[in-house]
Amino acid sequence: MLKPGTIAFTVSLGLFAALGPISTDMYLPSLPDMSRVFEADAAKTQLTLSGFLIGFALGQLIYGPLSDAYGRRPVLMSGLVLYMIATIMCVAANSMNMLIIARIIQALGVAAVAVIVRAIVRDVFSGAQAARTLSYIGSIMGLVPMVAPLLGSLLHGYFGWRSNFVVLLLFAATAAVLVLLFLPETISQASYRTPSLRIIFSKYRAVLSNRVFLIFVVIASLSFSGLFAFISASSFILQNQFGLTIFEFGFSFGIGVFGYIVGTLMGARLVGHIGIDRTIGIGSLLLAAGGLAMYVFTFLNSAQAWQIIVPFFIYLIGVGLTLPQCMAGALQPFASMAGTASSALGCIQLTSGAVAGVIVGQNLGDTPLPLALTMAISGCVALAVIALARHFRLTVIDPAPAD
């Protein structure tokens, strides 16, 4: 069995967590071609991403309370099985509408993975140690989506877009075997309680009324909104507007994701020295810098492909510094309700990303300006929120928080 605190335990959680990002990133190079094959415009094709994110968000509301009541392992396995069934539907899709529906179901399954990975970390760690572990998990899971667009472009070139979903199916099946054979249960059986709607709502009310939780969730949601806006629009902008090939797009996207890995590794080292709040402050500064740089280039009508990619790289360093710390800070006050708090965090964060993706997709024309504006606003508002929170001492975490 995997023992908490070991490298194998952290690596396994990172690989589980990577299933969500790889599900969005691997098939990105195929989006323009899928749009042509199914005779759908960019806005409708983008719904395979935003629809996935909406399903991802709604699914997280379910799995947190269930995992608090029945344990992490059985709920995680159920989500992986649902994901695999939906992935088979994606492979067999014969219309854009069917693919969108399959993607939503797929997201409902993978939502279990995201919720329970965060809950497991909170089960066995707290405070800066939890933030450090989440940063390492973020860097591990970042390695997979960094190469995913490159792998997706190669698969598309040799076998077509459906091959991306075949690989996702194999990835999920491997994760299910690891969970079944090696992952221990991290909450005691004595903690299990059959949930009622009243108990579930009371738990969500307690979580959503916590001021510290809300501040961290707002910052996480803003940083993720800019990231998902880029995920939604980048293949159309870099391939259709700037003429990059499928492989060049995959490489360019990988550069940005490498920035995320750099940010998570920096965060893992910084958080033990300067704390969660200051680490988030540095990350938010980079979010604002990357977003504003992209906006200035596009506003002046001088943008070239590298002037989109380099600001994205800077923005992703900020995301890597910000997201793991926000997750740890948001979950810190809820030792016995980590699953519920993780669900609320994921739902709010992903919903904001889906909204940003839809807005950018609907306004995407022959300029990257809608994308750049969304990323600039997200970064600047995140910086303002953490600055105000620190000024009014709203995000200080007690060393021994109570539920």
CA atoms of 59 and 107, how far apart (whole Å): 7
pLDDT (average), residues 274-294: 93
- Residue 172 structure tokens: 């999920």
Q: Tally the domains of the chain.
A: 1
Amino acid at 47: L
pLDDT level of residue 396 (50, 70, 90 thresholds)? very low
Q: Identify whether 400 is part of a domain.
A: no
- Residue 353 structure tokens: 């990303």
Query: CATH no. for residue 97?
Result: 1.20.1250.20
* pLDDT (0 to 100) of residue 395: 59
Q: Could you write out the three-class secondary structure of 64-128?
A: HHHHHHHCHHHHHHHHHHHHHHHHHHHHHCCCHHHHHHHHHHHHHHHHHHHHHHHHHHHHHCCHH
User: Among 227, 226, 214, which Cα is nearest to 348's?
Assistant: 214
pLDDT (average), residues 72-84: 95
CA atoms of 68 and 202, how far apart (whole Å): 14
On whether the CB atoms of residues 312 and 259 are closer than 8 A, the answer is yes
Higher-pLDDT residue of 289, 354 = 289
The domain in which residue 229 lies consists of: 7-391
pLDDT (average), residues 136-148: 79
**In degrees to the nearest 10, what's the CA dihedral of 349, 350, 354, 355?**
-30
Q: Identify whether 49 is part of a domain.
A: yes
CA atoms of 198 and 23, how far apart (whole Å): 34
- Tell me the HSE value of 242 on the side-chain side, using a 13 A CA sphere: 23
Burial state string for 324-360 with b = 16 or more CB within 10 A and e = fewer than 16: bbbbbbbbbbbeebbbbbbbbbbbbbbbbbbbbbbbb
- Hey, how many other C-beta atoms are within 10 angstroms of the C-beta on 144? 20
Q: Identify whether 279 is part of a domain.
A: yes
- Hey, how many other C-beta atoms are within 10 angstroms of the C-beta on 160? 13
pLDDT in tens, 177-187: 999 999 999 88
Amino acid at 231: I
Q: Identify whether 28 is part of a domain.
A: yes
CA atoms of 380 and 193, how far apart (whole Å): 42
pLDDT at 401 over 50: no
pLDDT in tens, 227-274: 888 888 888 888 877 888 888 888 888 888 889 889 988 998 898 888
CA atoms of 317 and 348, how far apart (whole Å): 22
Output the pTM of the full model.
Answer: 0.75
pLDDT at 387 over 50: yes
Amino acid at 356: A
Q: Identify whether 368 is part of a domain.
A: yes
Cβ neighbourhood burial of 300 (10 Å; 0-12, 13-18, 19+) = exposed
- Residue 229 structure tokens: 């806006």
pLDDT at 50 over 60: yes
Q: Identify whether 107 is part of a domain.
A: yes
The percentage of the chain sitting over the pLDDT mark of 70, rounded to a whole number, equals 94
Q: Identify whether 398 is part of a domain.
A: no
Cβ neighbourhood burial of 301 (10 Å; 0-12, 13-18, 19+) = exposed
CA atoms of 151 and 26, how far apart (whole Å): 7
On whether the CB atoms of residues 345 and 219 are closer than 8 A, the answer is no
Q: Identify whether 402 is part of a domain.
A: no
